[in-house]
Amino acid sequence: MTGKRERGLHELYADDPERADALVFDRRADASRRGFLRGAGLAGMGAAVGGTIPFAGTMPAGLVPAAMAQPVQQAQAGPPAEKGPKILKMDGKADLVVLGDKPVVAETPAHLLDDEVTPTEKFFVRNNGLTPDPASMPSDPKAWKIKIDGEVNTPLDITLGDLMTRFPQVTHKLMLECGGNGRSFFVPEARGNQWTNGGAGCAEWTGVRLADVLKAAGLKSTAVYTGHYGADPHLSGDATKPSISRGVRLEKAMEEHTIIAFKMNGKDIPLIHGAPARLIVPGWAGSTSAKWLNRIWVRDKEHDGPGMGGFSYRMSKKPIVPGSKGDEKDTVILESMPVRSIVTFPAHGTRLAGGTRKIDLRGHAWAGDNTVQSVEISIDYGATWKKADVKAPANKFAWQRFTASIDLPSAGYYEIWSKATDSKGATQPFQAGHWNPQGYGGNPVSRVAVLVET
């Protein structure tokens, strides 16, 4: 890279969105702050997004068109792209978008989350430490040991083999989502990996209920919280330091869908996803679902392992100025994840054949501990909404399928926006709100750009 600085679209919009509109597209905001595209500007933005913009009249001023704001996935396999997002190259994994290579962090583009049950190869990856060396693991996975200690009458040091035979096995489709999912929507940037909506997936997990295991160990009356530990080494290589150790209130640990899993989609869990055993704490920040699980420490107070303090997995109690430092003392632990929806078909960047006037779209929506009550779709920047059909979840903590048939009045550039509302009445906002230093809870309406060719 030379000293010459290239001016990005985001930077341009960041400095002054209305000026950027004027500069790039000759677009001027009118008094109502709606975007007002003059003849030349409309053509300019149209050229940039690749088509005319039928709902230009309701497109907000300063809105970076989704077509340019999000990288478009390349559908065909081929040599690594020189430009665009870095694609994960790993056996057994699909073309996920790499956010970081050490620790390994990769998210699933929305169109790869179209399956009813997320296939293992398409499942997002979020490590906090190094992936354990396979050579360091027992030759027989059933010999893997998990310790249950702390506020229990009979501490257990149980092998996975014993766990599998001693306790009833359950299989559920369970939502797993990174606590920071949606972080990239915060303005300004919050600390951490800049996830869009792809730090999420709903696989089918088989395991034993954590509640059964804890009951077998005999919970003392002092037990109130859990602390989870895995075998992944800290990034520094310091063997004495856990990479992360989070936990949950006992009530969540005892919930029947919280499990120690050993199968993912009917097969042994792959190494990258926590082989041979991991926790699944559905609906809560993924960091509580410890991979390579080797210990659960039952606590008599809120767990204080790495990842439980400071601003980690914590939201501000009082609203703070976006971009400010915040006060660690004025925070509360992020527990249930917020309501979110994604359009999984059509893919962002899809070109529809000329003459297309209707599209049957589909997507998934989920809401942490809650269920999704409704999903609405807009193709005119939120001016009007149409209700989608929403299916019931396959089981509690599974995501929900939504479908909608949408009329496209003409050729041109459209953004399909989706907005879900949960069973408590909370809906996705237009912008990520409640800014917090580490960027949790960012769940604005999702946007997919499509082009109907002339």
Partner 1 sequence: MKPITAVSVSILALAVALLVDRGAGLRPRVEIPQAAPASPTPASSAPQAATTRGGTLAKGTIPRSLPPDASHQDTVDTLPPGKGQEETFYMCAACHGTALIKQQGMSRELWEASFQLMIDRHGMAKPDDADRALIIDYLAENFPPRRKGRGGDNPFLK
- Cβ proximity to partner 1, 318 vs 358, nearer residue: 318
Q: Is 318 in the site for partner 1 (CB under 8 A)?
A: no
Closest distance of CB 362 from partner 1, Å: 28
Q: Give the one residue of 78, 134, 354, 425 binding partner 1; rule: CB under 8 A.
A: 134
Q: Could you tell me if 133 and 239 are in contact, meaning their C-beta atoms sit under 8 angstroms apart?
A: no
For partner 1, the binding residues in 44-83 under the rule CB under 8 A are: 44, 47-48, 60-63, 68, 71, 82-83
Which tokens sit at 288?
């509580």
> What are 407's strand-pairing partners?
358
- Cβ proximity to partner 1, 184 vs 418, nearer residue: 184
Q: Where are the beta strands (DSSP E) in 251-371?
A: 259-264, 267-268, 278-280, 293-299, 314-316, 331-333, 340-345, 350-352, 358-366
Q: Give the one residue of 28, 46, 58, 141 binding partner 1; rule: CB under 8 A.
A: 141
Tally of CB atoms within 10 A around 389: 12
Closest distance of CB 158 from partner 1, Å: 18
Q: Is 256 in the site for partner 1 (CB under 8 A)?
A: no
Q: Is 375 in the site for partner 1 (CB under 8 A)?
A: no
For partner 1, the binding residues in 323-342 under the rule CB under 8 A are: 323-325
Instruction: Write out the DSSP string of 69-114.
Output: HSPPPP-S--SPPSSSPPBP--TT--SPEEEEETTEEEE--GGGG-
Q: Give the one residue of 193, 370, 428, 436 binding partner 1; rule: CB under 8 A.
A: 193
SS3 (DSSP) at 161: helix
- Cβ proximity to partner 1, 105 vs 248, nearer residue: 105
Q: Could you tell me if 202 and 366 are in contact, meaning their C-beta atoms sit under 8 angstroms apart?
A: yes
Q: Give the one residue of 30, 32, 76, 136 binding partner 1; rule: CB under 8 A.
A: 136
Which tokens sit at 351?
């070109």
Q: How far apart are CA 67 and CA 74, in angstroms?
A: 14
Size of the site for partner 1 (CB under 8 A): 93
Using the contact rule CB under 8 A, the part of the chain among 102-110, 211-219, 296-304, 350-358 near partner 1 is 102-110
Write the burial class of residue 129 (CB in 10 Å: 0-12 exposed, 13-18 middle, 19+ buried).
buried
What type of residue is 432?
A
Q: Give the one residue of 39, 91, 332, 358 binding partner 1; rule: CB under 8 A.
A: 91
Contacts for 341 with CB less than 8 Å, ≥ 6 apart? 363, 364, 365, 372, 375, 402, 418, 419, 420, 428, 445, 446
Q: Give the one residue of 115, 116, 157, 238 binding partner 1; rule: CB under 8 A.
A: 238
Using the contact rule CB under 8 A, the part of the chain among 4-12, 149-157, 284-292, 345-353 near partner 1 is 4-12
Q: Give the one residue of 198, 207, 276, 393 binding partner 1; rule: CB under 8 A.
A: 276
Closest distance of CB 112 from partner 1, Å: 17
DSSP 338: P
Q: Give the one residue of 94, 117, 170, 272 binding partner 1; rule: CB under 8 A.
A: 272
Q: Give the one residue of 94, 216, 235, 406 binding partner 1; rule: CB under 8 A.
A: 235
Q: Is 433 in the site for partner 1 (CB under 8 A)?
A: no
Using the contact rule CB under 8 A, the part of the chain among 24-32, 168-176, 350-358, 365-373 near partner 1 is 24-32
- N-term to C-term CA, the chain: 40
Q: Is 162 in the site for partner 1 (CB under 8 A)?
A: no
**CA-to-CA separations, 204 to 47, 102, 208, 356, 430, in angstroms, rounded:** 44, 27, 13, 36, 32
